[in-house]
Structure 1
């Protein structure tokens, strides 16, 4: 501990400034760093050592710290760092690290390249612990994007994904089909057993849907008792039939609530994705809802695929009914 009162005036001023900086850095979970590009020797302030849970002041070189980064963050950091070295500019990114004690943290990393005599010689910048902010942001995003009752994606998120179909921006596999799932006789369950029972049915059906499809596909609750799926991967009509028939068996199992057995079946309507749907996603909803209506008309607890053994007359008769599901047209 420096006794500032015992120092000469100029030195006391410098010590005061250092004390204020250290206090502010501690409050902000912030630290500064520098890397010598010739030797790769690192200089860290205490805040960076604390961020990584490393003993303050131990000698470091860059290669010693790279293993603390999660793979995707390390790859991103190396890419933006390389670009900055090429251009002599600044960079910033959020990176995920695992500390010496094994704790996962997020940090905001900034850097700037120092050019001397036409050559990059040093990089310096800051590192700030943003783990709490990241958790809060993820929580806010979840509240904005998730259905509060079931935890599935909400209608707004699902419609956004539908409008992005043309980009095929869903990972490594394109979307192949849209399916709509509707609980059978849901109003009767609410009227007979109360809304708590209805909510229990919705939660259990949502859980089954997520276990069946949630890892690779987009699963959402888009209305009161209505769910929707965007199914990814290569798929023929026969494969889609098989997948949805298997799902139907699981979804139609009895639901148990407060020692009561509730036979809450579902009906499923689906349509295969075609290039024309990229331009007009509402067409997909119309077709899938047409198939859903046909499943209900056939006695419920059925799967129907649009265009597969649905007569032209039936499709024409129910086309106006199907518009209610089209994205942007209201529930």
Structure 2
């Protein structure tokens, strides 16, 4: 009886093996690199040239290549490189670059080291284009965090990020109020012109708020015709009131849609953050809701502030 297996494995010819390897590397948008530490001489495989969009005939100077990294990624890369040289332990990180032609890309960078006579002699590793993966992740994140109609932060994200904004901004005096905005007569607009006109109105209001408050801590749509802002500045109640009065005027400009002139207005209620800064969002929302209710009860296009004295007042 033969000892030969039923399906013997046949060794691939060298040229086939090389071709399959090259095809796999190209499909994975992958390349290898090496840097001599004494001279900083770089060596790249074709895949790395492709990732950087760098002409293969151009000289490889490390200083020029480092300049292609986006600032934060450059800092992270240099820290990781120094750590590998110091410790000898490999590191992997994601980095964003601007290619030689100006296109922004993400790559996964691995760094390892070779030591000679107990000293680091060169570092090497791989670079893989992960731009498509990052774009997919970013698209999914935006879908989860934004209102699909207006592109503003949704209610869930607005509330979740409140603590982040408070911690990073309010403790340094750069935020001052939680502002709630409710459109006046929005149901009447929908009933008269239809939901397409209502959607166009919401998108226009979102765009106006985004432009007017691009420096705010956060701008969001809580649902329906209600919007919210975490205001960074000003901090003085009288100045806040003036800003919100100007917002009323800005939002009251007519919207032109499908040949129609549609009027829009808004009521605004705001809760002053005051001190201490670390107040619960439920408390601020309750105060802003009271101020918004008072603004709507007083008529259209009104602003009310809920201050430290514990009551709503007209502005």
Shorter-chain TM range is 0.7 to 0.9
Task: Provide TM-score, normalisation by structure 1.
Answer: 0.83
SS state of the match for residue 176, structure 2? strand
2:30 maps to 1:44: no
Structure-2 separation of matches of 1:26 and 1:296: 62
SS state of the match for residue 278, structure 1? coil
Change (3 A) 1:19 1:196: same
Deviation at 1:276, TM superposition (A): 4.8
Structure-2 separation of matches of 1:269 and 1:49: 56
Structure-1 separation of matches of 2:119 and 2:140: 44
Task: Provide TM-score, normalisation by structure 2.
Answer: 0.87
What is the count of residue pairs matched by the alignment? 304
Deviation at 1:48, TM superposition (A): 0.4
Structure-1 separation of matches of 2:270 and 2:309: 13
Unaligned ranges ≥5, structure 2: 1-9
Structure-2 separation of matches of 1:133 and 1:171: 36
User: Residue in 2 aligned with 1:278?
Assistant: 278
Higher helix share: 1
User: Residue in 1 aligned with 2:113?
Assistant: 113
Q: After the TM superposition, which segments of 4 or more aligned residues of structure 1 sit over 6 Å from their partners?
A: 169-173
RMSD: 2.6
Structure-2 separation of matches of 1:103 and 1:171: 38
2:163 maps to 1:163: yes
- Map 1:1-331 → 2, pairs under 5 A: 13-56=13-56, 60-168=60-168, 174-233=174-233, 235-276=235-276, 278-307=278-307, 311=311
Q: Is the 8 A contact 1:46 1:57 kept in 2?
A: no
Unaligned ranges ≥5, structure 1: 1-8, 315-331
Structure-1 separation of matches of 2:291 and 2:267: 10
Deviation at 1:220, TM superposition (A): 0.5
Q: Which moved more, 1:29-38 or 1:257-266?
A: 257-266
| Residues 246-290 of structure 1 deviation map (CA, whole Å, 9 limit, x = unaligned) | 111101112222222222210111112245562521111111111
Change (3 A) 1:131 1:220: same
Structure-2 separation of matches of 1:298 and 1:234: 25
Change (3 A) 1:173 1:35: farther
SS state of the match for residue 123, structure 2? strand
